[in-house]
Chain A
Amino acid sequence: MAKGEVKLLGSWPSPYVMRARIALNLKSVEYEFLEEKLGVKSELLLKSNPVHKKIPVLLHHSKPICESLVIVQYIDEVWSSGPAILPSDPYDRAVARFWASYVDEKFFPALRALPMAQGKEAMEAAMHPVKEGLALLEDAYANHSKGGPFFGGGQISYLDVAFGCFLGVIRVSEKVTGVALINEHTTPGLAGWAEEFCAHPAVEDVMPDTDKLTEFINRIIKMKSQSPN
């Protein structure tokens, strides 16, 4: 397949973009990665996603698909000869979708606030919902992974992609707070899973380096504090 058929608008730090890249990698789809610059939205992005003006945007035969989990499902359905990303059973799919939705609506907003928290009290307050969320996800892993190592069992699947993309930010938060959010004691399942996930060939090249991501997040925090709006 010609490379020009599939393009992905994104940026290296974005966990949402990572979801799309992992999905494309899982299906061995060749694609052109168009890196958006921080603070400047390209014409192509504004044209392809006029409603949200956000990355990732998948362009397939120039048709735009937006919203990371919508993109992942699209990739799964179009390249159906590759390994399945969503499970085949409707109930298993519902479980995966439920947890992906939980990660987006509850877990990541809490996680995102953590590196921003200034001072010991604020940090502890910010940590609480994150730890709660990880406990729930540890439970989900225990209940659904059927022995693992992935949420999808033996193969990486939808929920692995939906949640695993946040491991970069989790690691940055661990570095900044000095607290091991995922660890052998409180989240043994997730600890093993995180290692397997990051080492997976579809993931390892697109998971950002923790130091590089820490530097990037610090830059964002600085930018935000200098121009409050």
Chain B
Amino acid sequence: MAEEGVKLYGFWLSPFSRRVELALKIKGVEYEYIEEDLQNKSPELLQYNPIHKKVPVLIHNGKVIVESQVILEYIDETWKENPIMPQDPYERAIARFWAKFIDEKFFPSFRKAILGGETEVEKVIEETKENLKILEKVLEGKNFFGGERIGFVDIVANTIAYWVFLFQEAAEKEILTEEFPILCNWKDKYINHNIIKETLPPKDKSVSFFRARFAQSKASS
């Protein structure tokens, strides 16, 4: 019989694996955590995720689930307490829409704006700020993206609440500033939330890591 346990392969600094940890903690699910060295990926990781070779990978009852947003929905459907997704189909569609927007439009534009070379960087910064304005509007009048409590979009938005600021400090460049008061207010609540704060990697160690990584890519470009 397949084992009952829950295992998570992750990386301490990956927002994607941290999302899964957050969801498991919200649900009160016990799990075994395995730290991957992304410079030296384990044979298990390569076996479980041969196509993308990435973390996070969730193993439950011997079944392998990959891709953070897919894992989040799996967790929500498997452990019913403290729902992450809204109940109403229209609200669910809206949540999935914004989660996709954050991962496919916002964060890539932000990364380019922070890391980009001199050419066209103004254009990308503008695009990122437009995306932030859009997200501000979504949050307006709400405590969290999920409403009164954190939900699917808030979990996916860990990149905005925390990693954006790590990148900004490491790159010594600011894009998400007080110019976006609603997002800043949400971010303060977010990083102090009693469950979320356990899933955030240590700030100084993270900033040093990114600083070194940014310097490396500058040197090799």
Contact = CB atoms under 8 A, between A and B. Distances in A.
A12 interface: no
B179 interface: no
Contact of A70 (B66, B73, B96): B96
Q: Which interface class (under 10, 10 to 19, 20 to 34, 35 or more) fits A?
A: 20 to 34
Contacts of A136: 51
B100 A67 contact: yes
A65 interface: yes
Interface string A67-80: 10011011001100
Interface SS of chain B: helix
A90 interface: yes
Interface stretch (B85-93, B107-115, B170-178): B85-93
Q: For the complex, would chain A's binding face be called helix, strand, loop or mixed by DSSP majority?
A: helix
Nearest to B100: A67
Contacts of A102: 51
B74 A91 contact: yes
Contacts of A176: none
A63 B90 contact: yes
Interface in A38-80: 51, 60, 63, 65-67, 70-71, 73-74, 77-78
A52 to B, nearest CB: 8
B77 interface: yes
Interface of A: 51, 60, 63, 65-67, 70-71, 73-74, 77-78, 90-91, 93-94, 97-98, 101-102, 106, 136
25 contacts: A51-B101, A51-B134, A60-B90, A65-B97, A67-B97, A67-B100, A70-B93, A70-B100, A73-B92, A73-B96, A74-B90, A74-B92, A91-B60, A91-B63, A91-B74, A93-B74, A94-B65, A94-B73, A94-B74, A97-B67, A98-B66, A98-B70, A101-B67, A101-B69, A102-B51
